[in-house]
Amino acid sequence: MPLLVMKFGGTSVADLARIKNAASKVRREVERGYDVIVIVSAMSGKTNELVAWVEQTSPLFDAREYDAVVASGENVTAGLMALALQEMDVPARSWQGWQVPINTTSAHSAARFVTIPRDNIDAKFAEGMKVAVVAGFQGVSAEGRITTLGRGGSDTTAVAFAAAFGAERCDIYTDVDGVYTTDPRISAKARKLDRIAYEEMLELASLGAKVLQTRSVELAMRYKVRLRVLSSFEETDENSGTLVCDEDEIMESKVVSGVAYSRDEAKMTLLRVEDRPGIAAAIFGPLADSGVNVDMIVQNISEKTEDGKSIAVTDMTFSCPVTQVGRARKAMEDARKAGIIRYDELIEDTDVAKVSVVGIGMRSHAGVAATMFKALAAENVNIKVIATSEIKISVLIDRKYMELAVQALHDTFGLDKA
Ligand code: ADP
Ligand code: ASP
Ligand code: MG
pLDDT of residue 340 exceeding 90: yes
| CA gap 173, 151 in Å, rounded | 17
Domain presence at residue 385: no
Note whether residue 316 is domain-resident: no
Atom 21 in ligand 1: which residue has the minimum CA distance?
A: 183
| Residue 310 pLDDT exceeds 90 | no
pLDDT of 301: 85
Tell me whether residue 371 is in a domain: no
pLDDT, mean of residues 202-222: 96
Q: What is the mean pLDDT of residues 214-243?
A: 95
User: Nearest C-alpha to atom 8 of ligand 2 is from which residue?
Assistant: 152
pLDDT at 185: 95
Whether 231 maps to a domain, the answer reads no
Atom of ligand 2 nearest to the CA of 150: 9
Is a pLDDT exceeding 80 seen at residue 252?
Answer: no
pLDDT over threshold 90, residue 237: no
Ligand 2 centre distance from Cα of residue 84 (Å): 21
Q: What is the mean pLDDT of residues 138-151?
A: 98
Q: Let me know if residue 120 belongs to a domain.
A: yes
Domain containing residue 67: 3-175
Pairing verdict, β 227-231 and 309-310: unpaired
> Prior bond to 101 cis, omega within 30?
yes
Distance 91 CA to ligand 3 centre (A): 27
pTM, 2 dp: 0.93
Closest atom of ligand 1 relative to the 181 alpha carbon: 23
Above 90 in pLDDT, residue 366? no
CA atoms within 13 A on the CB side of 200: 31
| pLDDT confidence of residue 40 | 98
What is the number of the ligand 1 atom nearest to the C-alpha of 12?
3
Residue 333 resides in a domain: no
Q: What's the total number of domains in the chain?
A: 1
Best residue among 72, 102, 151 to mutate for probing ligand 2's pocket (most ligand atoms within 8 Å of CB) is: 151
Cβ < 6 Å from ligand 1: which residues? 9-12, 41, 152, 174-176, 179-180, 182-185, 204, 209-211, 258
Which tens digits make up the pLDDT trace of 27-41? 999 999 999 999 999
Task: Using DSSP bridges, classify how beta strands 113-115 and 3-8 pair: parallel, antiparallel or unpaired.
Answer: unpaired
Ligand 1 pocket test, pick from 13, 21, 175, 211 with the greatest ligand atom count within 8 Å of Cβ, gives: 211
User: Which residue, 395, 365, 367, is CA-closest to 382?
Assistant: 395
Quick check: is 259 in a domain? Answer: no
Which of residues 301 and 196 earns the better pLDDT score? 196
Ligand 1 closest atom vs CA 229: 25
CATH code of the domain containing 142: 3.40.1160.10
Mean pLDDT computed over 3-23: 98
Residue 192 has pLDDT above 90, yes or no: yes
The answer as to whether 410 is a domain residue is no
CA-to-CA dists, residue 345 to 317, 336, 342, 353, angstroms: 12, 11, 9, 23
Higher pLDDT, 224 or 306: 224
CA–centroid distance, 413 to ligand 3, in Å, is 27
3-state secondary structure labels for all residues of 220-289? HHHHCCCEEEEECCCCCCCCCCEEEECHHHCCCCCCCCEEEEEEEEEEEEEEEEECCCCHHHHHHHHHHH
pLDDT at 194: 94
CB-defined site of ligand 2, < 6 Å: 9-10, 41-42, 47, 73, 136-137, 151-155
pLDDT, one tens digit per residue, over 128-144 is: 999 999 999 999 999 99
Percent of the chain at pLDDT > 90 equals: 91
Mean of per-residue pLDDT scores for the chain? 96
Q: What percent of the chain has pLDDT over 70?
A: 100
* Residue minimizing CA distance to atom 4 of ligand 2: 47
- Tell me the C-alpha distance between 288 and 258, whole Å: 30
